[in-house]
Amino acid sequence: MNSLAAKAVLCTIPLLSSISISLRAQADSSLSGTITGASGKPLASARVSVKNLTTGQSTTAETSATGTYYLSGLAPGDYEISVAALGFDVKTGRMTLAAGGAQTFNATLTASLTPGQETEPSLSDLGFSPSQTKGTPEYQALLDRRSHMLQIHQRLGLITTAPLIATLFTSPGAKGHHGMPGPASGRELHAALGATTAGLYFSSAYFAIRAPKIPGTQAHGPIRVHKALAWIHGPGMILTPILGGIAYSQLSNGERVHGIAKYHSDVAAVTAAAYGAAIISVSIKF
Amino acid sequence: MMKKLSLIVLLLAIPQFARADSQWVLAQSTLTYHVTHPLHEVDGVSKAAKGKGVCHAGQCDFLIAAPVKSFDSGDSNRDLHMLQVTRGGEFPMVVVRTQLPEQDSASADIKADLTIQFAGQTVHYNQVSFHAAKQGNEVHITGTIPATVSDFKIDPPKLLTIPIKNEIPVKVDMAWRQQ
């Protein structure tokens, strides 16, 4: 019998608890309303705060895109209501919430102004942070240095095209005819032009590589193609003179060009093509 | 005694006079500058502008601002170069101010006197034409600001040693919402 009573008590406790919660929910009040600007347009993201004047407990809600808000689970009692929105004066009011009641508090906010500012808005009113609106001479100096170095890179790069084209044109004279070595003057001219091309090319590359990087920027657009092509013409500009030097030596010894030196002109052609494409990639919009 | 009373009345009245009648907020915008070069036609676009208009006694003061670095021409290298030549490191914002009669919001054609702060310079453009169209609770404004690089004392950027044209018209496409 005692065991049965204990079971009954155990079953009754959750039942009573749920009744108590239910009664309390019924006793709680809710508050809703619409917040508008002076023109009558609804204000989105306005903050509605209600403070129970007895307990000091505060609850807040934000208005929707239509300017409406809804606060539930409020204990009956006296409340202080305040409504705030960016760029508007804070509106306050008092209201007594009855047990289980659903009450309405609407408010119309007036646009606020910074004292002494009269009607003219400022950059801070727009929501820009000081770090966004204040520049620094150091940042400008970094941009100036970068642009200056890249301008030298561009100029040297363009100048390089002249000996590069000339080197390509003197190539047949350096090779000789029907596989036989040609005159030494042809080889020497070709080698001199090739050396000039390489010298200018690496000077130009230095300024591109050493130009300062700007923090917070990511490369996009044709400049990515320009940079990617450097992975072809860069190694090509190293390999071409090496192979050319071997070929020069073989021809000077009266030999035919053989071994890896045979690829000198092929590597040079690919290098020149990649170099030309790199210039076009940043010169012509496509 | 009368003087004191007048002073009190005046002091009480000041906050009322200083209070704005209505506000406009820039809901959406696209600013596009156009650069012409013999080898290129480039458009730099920014959607990062913010703006506010405060109306009082029939006059509205508008302020529109955008970070210079927010303009995207489709090439990061060109954008950084533009940032450098426009001195965007020191003057990171392009700021436009104008004052319009409140009733202009209902007009289809607006002529505005603009004051533009950009690249460390302040330049005035008078009677710039804009077209306004009401769309729901927004007013859609379109127009072109006839800016030039020389107005702002910008050294014209060069490509392959050829400088860009002096004219850099800025197309404006904005949606304003009254609050």
CATH number listed for the domain at residues B17-178: 2.40.128.110
Cα–Cα distance for residue pair A275/A168, rounded to 1 Å: 13
Chain B residues within an 8 Å CB radius of A138? 89
CA distance A82 to chain B (A): 19
Q: Are A121 and B54 in contact (CB under 8 A)?
A: yes
- Phi, psi dihedrals of residue B105, rounded to the nearest 5°: -65, -20
Tell me the mean pLDDT per 10 residues along chain B, length 179.
50 45 90 91 95 89 94 93 94 93 82 93 94 89 96 88 92 93
Q: What is the per-residue pLDDT for B162?
A: 86
Tell me the per-residue pLDDT of A191-204, one tens digit each, with 9 for 90 and over: 999 999 999 999 99
Residue span(s) of chain A under CATH 1.20.120 come to: 137-283
Cα–Cα distance for residue pair B155/B150, rounded to 1 Å: 8
Long-range contacts of B41-46 (CB under 8 A, 24+ apart): B41/A285, B42/A285, B42/B73, B42/B74, B42/B78, B43/B73, B44/B71, B44/B72, B44/B73, B44/B79, B44/B82, B45/B71, B45/B72, B45/B73, B46/B70, B46/B71, B46/B72
Chain A residues within an 8 Å CB radius of B51? 126
Q: What is the per-residue pLDDT for A218?
A: 86
Cα–Cα distance for residue pair A142/A162, rounded to 1 Å: 31
Q: What is the per-residue pLDDT for A213?
A: 92
Residue span(s) of chain A under CATH 2.60.40.1120 come to: 28-112
- Phi, psi dihedrals of residue A100, rounded to the nearest 5°: 70, 10
- Which of A39, A158, A214 has the CB atom closest to B178's CB atom? A39
Q: What is the per-residue pLDDT for A20?
A: 43
Nearest chain B residue to A214 by CA: give it: B80
Tell me the per-residue pLDDT of A226-276, one tens digit each, with 9 for 90 and over: 999 999 999 999 999 999 999 999 888 888 889 999 999 999 999 999 999
Query: Does the distance separating the beta carbons of A113 and B77 come in below 8 Å?
Result: no
Tell me the per-residue pLDDT of B10-52, one tens digit each, with 9 for 90 and over: 444 444 444 567 889 999 999 999 999 888 889 999 999 999 9
- Phi, psi dihedrals of residue A155, rounded to the nearest 5°: -65, -50
Query: Does the distance separating the beta carbons of A125 and B90 come in below 8 Å?
Result: no
Nearest chain B residue to A41 by CA: give it: B179
- Written as six digits, the tokens of B32 are 């596009």
Q: Does the CA dihedral A52-A53-A57-A59 come out positive or negative?
A: positive
Q: Are B91 and B104 in contact (CB under 8 A)?
A: no
pLDDT greater at residue B119 or residue A63: B119
pLDDT at residue A90 greater than cutoff 50: yes
The answer, as to whether pTM is greater than 0.80, is no
Our measurement of the distance from residue A30's CA atom to the centroid of its chain's CA atoms, rounded to an integer in Å, reads 44
* % of chain A surpassing 90 pLDDT: 40
Cα–Cα distance for residue pair A43/A109, rounded to 1 Å: 9
Query: Does the distance separating the beta carbons of A123 and B93 come in below 8 Å?
Result: yes
ipTM of the predicted structure? 0.80
Tell me the CATH architecture of domain A137-283.
Answer: Up-down Bundle (1.20)
Q: What is the per-residue pLDDT for A123?
A: 81
Q: Does the CA dihedral A58-A64-A69-A73 come out positive or negative?
A: negative
Local confidence band at A87 (pLDDT 50, 70, 90 cut-offs)? low
Cα–Cα distance for residue pair B121/A22, rounded to 1 Å: 68
CA distance A271 to chain B (A): 21
Q: Are A218 and A167 in contact (CB under 8 A)?
A: no
Return the CATH number of A28-112, one of 3.20.20.450, 2.40.10.10, 3.40.50.300, 2.60.40.1120: 2.60.40.1120
Q: What is the per-residue pLDDT for A159?
A: 95
Q: What is the per-residue pLDDT for B4?
A: 57
pLDDT at residue A83 greater than cutoff 80: yes
Query: Does the distance separating the beta carbons of B39 and A125 come in below 8 Å?
Result: no
Cα–Cα distance for residue pair B101/B85, rounded to 1 Å: 36
Number of H helices, E strands in chain B: 2, 11
Per-domain residue ranges for chain B? 17-178
Query: Does the distance separating the beta carbons of B56 and A118 come in below 8 Å?
Result: yes
